[in-house]
A = this chain, B = another copy of it.
């Protein structure tokens, strides 16, 4: 493969998923991922911070969407969270859905990856809280709304992998379920 073959990042993601699937995450070296993608280890580390990151790409974009969603939402905490989830929907493509189950399986089978996943979700929650604070929401209300939002995101993601369709719609329904449960706590 040539030096300027396009989509280096995507090729790395696909190669990593394939290799993790074939031989397990622990038994796969970064150099091997790079090799299968027709690249070198150095190039890998130019695209991803570490070995795990290849499974968690696009987080910065999602954080930006969360901020934008909350900034443009109505003045009610869970309404802001809903706007954030809806804004995130643009990144939930068909290809992402196709890779989702394999990705989840790899993450579930490894502690390091579950750590990264937990931190990622905590980062989403923190960004939601910060954005809501800037909109004048009280800290406690913002924290509660954000945690419920993350729960809805998780549940919505799992459901979306199963049924497909528009992620925004699925997430909205998931959040409504979570809100109803929280109200009768």
Q: How many copies make up the complex? A: 2
For residue A184, which residue of chain B has the nearest CB?
B183
Q: Does A156 contact B (CB under 8 A)?
A: no
Question: Which chain A residues (157-185) contact chain B, with CB distance < 8 Å?
Answer: 177-179, 181-185
Q: Does A30 contact B (CB under 8 A)?
A: no
Q: Which of A1-9, A97-105, A137-145 contacts B (4 or more CB under 8 A)?
A: A137-145
Main SS at interface, chain A:
helix
Question: Which chain A residues (88-132) contact chain B, with CB distance < 8 Å?
Answer: 111, 114-116, 118-119, 121-122
Q: Does A77 contact B (CB under 8 A)?
A: yes
**Interface range for A:** 20 to 34
Task: Tell me, in angstroms, the Cα distance from A155 to B181 when the chains sit together.
Answer: 22
Quick one: given A140-B177, A140-B178, A178-B140, are A185 and B115 in contact (CB under 8 Å)? no
Q: Does A147 contact B (CB under 8 A)?
A: yes
Residues of A at the B interface (CB closer than 8 Å) are: 77-78, 111, 114-116, 118-119, 121-122, 140-141, 143-145, 147-148, 150-151, 155, 177-179, 181-185
Q: List 18 A-B contacts (CB under 8 A).
A: A77-B185, A78-B185, A114-B119, A114-B122, A115-B118, A118-B119, A118-B121, A118-B122, A119-B119, A140-B178, A143-B151, A143-B155, A144-B148, A145-B185, A147-B151, A148-B182, A179-B185, A183-B184
